[in-house]
Homo-oligomer: A and B are copies of this chain.
Amino acid sequence: VVSGAVSELTPSEREVFSPRELKHGWRLACQTYPQSDCVLNIPAESLTTAQRTQVEGVAVTVPPTPVVTGYPLELSPPSLADPQADADGLLKALNRQYKLNCQQIDLNALRRLSPQLRTDGWQCRAMVRGDEVIAVNPPSGRNLGLAIDLGTTKIAGYLVDLEDGRTLAAQGTMNPQISYGEDIISRLNRVIKTPGESARMQQLVTKAFNQLATELCAEAATRPEEIGDVVVVGNTVMHHLWLGLPVNQLACPPFVPATSLAVDVKARDLGLNIAPGAYVHLLPNIAGYVGADHLAMLLATGIWRDRGTTLALDIGTNTEVSLVCNGRIATASCASGPAFEGGHIKYGMRAASGAIERLRLVNGTVQYQTIEDAPPVGICGSGILDTVAQLYLAGIIDEGGRMKKGHSLITTSRKQREFIVVSPAERAGQSPITVTQMDIRELQLAKAAIRAGIQALLEASNCAETDIKKVIIAGAFGSYIDVSSAITIGMLPSLPLKRFRQVGNAAGAGARLALISWHKRAEARTIARRIRYIELAGAPGFDQTFVQASYLGQYRITNGNRITQE
């Protein structure tokens, strides 16, 4: 607050700000009411900037065998001599001409049929799914599909031509439910405490989907009515909230979903405005905290068929890990927390413009890179990972994660040590950007959760770390991390770098594969059936493994013991 009268300081604000910050007029926007005209200075890092969303992932190449097929028809108009009903004539011609056995027309499609046939001169394109006509398009109509990766933070949408499998347009947007909490746990709590919010959260996502469909169609010069099929993947909580399924049982042990099965439901039952009788297909979930997005990644990368041992991770607030070993798949969910997304980190932020995403210590000097080369405003997950790795390699922190005092880049403020990433001098007198001792503890918890999860899967599958021939790192965060930093801090097993592969948004690629090909849709069900879900909360010795996994450095863990490597 530069000038003007505002309400009294609240206890929360006294808690959050230092006396110096308070003296400089820092206030929380959520706690302060203006009492006159005011002049405010809003720091750059508080401004919402578009988050970097990633829509490109592994390549999507599969022969198109879409679930919906379009059949052009030319019908004879009815006459007094042959007063055949419109739908009857359509089905008769369709079944005869294409040797099908269609028995029904979706009610919404039927509602449009009679005037449409008369307008289009008895020519049309019947869109068929199984034994049902789900839409009747004009003769020039296209056969389009929409694949959606519904993330907790981001939604990625892909408009696909179902006849040749090409992606016509791709776009990312924020998940509007974010106003109900950044992570799935806060959204779960919100719905459990206020069940009425459930419908509102469902509608928000539906609205975002409809908006995405409209924008993608505009980009490809078509209309959402030409979208005859949709595949959605997301984590189990997003899946349940969108379908309007109960979530209470997800929030307490044994954390079970209402359903893990693939769901096919009319798009209209979920409020999507696309082809009149179109369905939405949701790939199977695996468990309460391993969703269809992880399954889609396994589908897209094809690693579930690997003969050797393969590890695959989706890193985020919740990290899903699968270990493919001897034709079997074991999967676990690791509560890695929000540190990788900048949460619970003093200067942490999402991967948006101005976030420090890379950091090196060169001869005692900090060198960093920000997203879009903007002036630094904070540090995102990959930046924190790099920082901790560099501090460990430089000997500034020990393997327990403790900052050593006395280093020129270490300062002590508010009772904890901090590593100065950007000094006030570099920020024109604004506060510095630092990584604190507590930030390092947060990162240790996050990476320990992942490492211990990997370890539990190895043990459950009777495999050793060194058996792992391939490591797939998926998801937006996973694509941007420096793998060697992740190995340095012991987040990932110490394996040759060439065994690692960062595949980007593989969930979106999996969704597109399931959209284009019903073989892939069937394959997804096969994968789901093969997966053995390992509940870490109940795994013996997990706590001890977790403690060992919180150490920095390169090591192996065997029977809960950490063996540091040379």
Contacts and interface: CB of A to CB of B under 8 A. Distances in A.
A405 interface: no
A111 B241 CA distance: 11
A81 interface: yes
B107 A263 contact: yes
Interface string A231-275: 000000000000111101100011111111101111011000000
Contacts of A113: 246, 258-259
A254 B91 contact: no
A102 to B, nearest CB: 10
B83 A249 contact: no
Interface string A100-118: 0001110100111111001
A28 interface: no
A85 B285 contact: yes
Interface in A507-544: 533, 535, 537-538
Contacts of A260: 84-85, 87-88
A86 interface: yes
B245 A80 contact: no
Contacts of A287: 83, 85
B110 A245 contact: yes
A79 interface: yes
A86 B255 contact: no
A282 to B, nearest CB: 10
A499 B285 CA distance: 66
A80 B254 contact: yes
B256 A86 contact: yes
Nearest to A106: B265
A63 interface: no
A259 B105 contact: yes
Contacts of A269: 107, 268
A288 B245 CA distance: 42
Nearest to A286: B85
Of residues A78, A103, A258, A287, which shows the largest number of chain B Cβ atoms within 10 Å of its Cβ? Answer: A258
Nearest to A78: B256
Contact of A85 (B104, B244, B253, B256): B256
Contacts of A243: 107, 110-111
Of residues A112, A246, A259, which shows the largest number of chain B Cβ atoms within 10 Å of its Cβ? Answer: A259
A256 B117 CA distance: 13
B256 A84 contact: yes
Given A115-B248, A254-B83, A259 B110 contact: yes
Nearest to A89: B256
Given A107-B263, A107-B265, A264-B104, A83 B255 contact: yes
Contact of A253 (B80, B112, B257): B80
Contacts of A249: 86, 114, 118
Contacts of A114: 245-246, 248-249, 258
Interface in A446-483: none
A518 to B, nearest CB: 15
Contact of A88 (B79, B107, B259): B259
Contact of A257 (B80, B86, B265): B86
Contact of A261 (B83, B87, B112, B288): B87
A256 B112 CA distance: 15
B533 A261 contact: no
A124 to B, nearest CB: 14
A334 B352 CA distance: 74
Interface in A274-290: 285, 287-288
A86 B113 CA distance: 40
Nearest to A246: B114
A255 B85 CA distance: 9
19 contacts: A80-B538, A83-B535, A84-B260, A85-B256, A85-B258, A85-B285, A86-B249, A87-B260, A88-B259, A88-B260, A88-B261, A110-B263, A111-B243, A111-B245, A111-B258, A114-B245, A114-B246, A114-B248, A268-B269
Given A79-B254, A80-B253, A104-B264, 19 more contacts: A78-B256, A80-B537, A83-B254, A83-B533, A85-B256, A85-B258, A85-B260, A85-B285, A86-B256, A87-B258, A87-B260, A87-B261, A91-B261, A110-B243, A110-B245, A111-B258, A113-B246, A113-B258, A266-B266
Interface of A: 78-88, 91, 103-105, 107, 110-115, 118, 243-246, 248-249, 253-261, 263-266, 268-269, 285, 287-288, 533, 535, 537-538
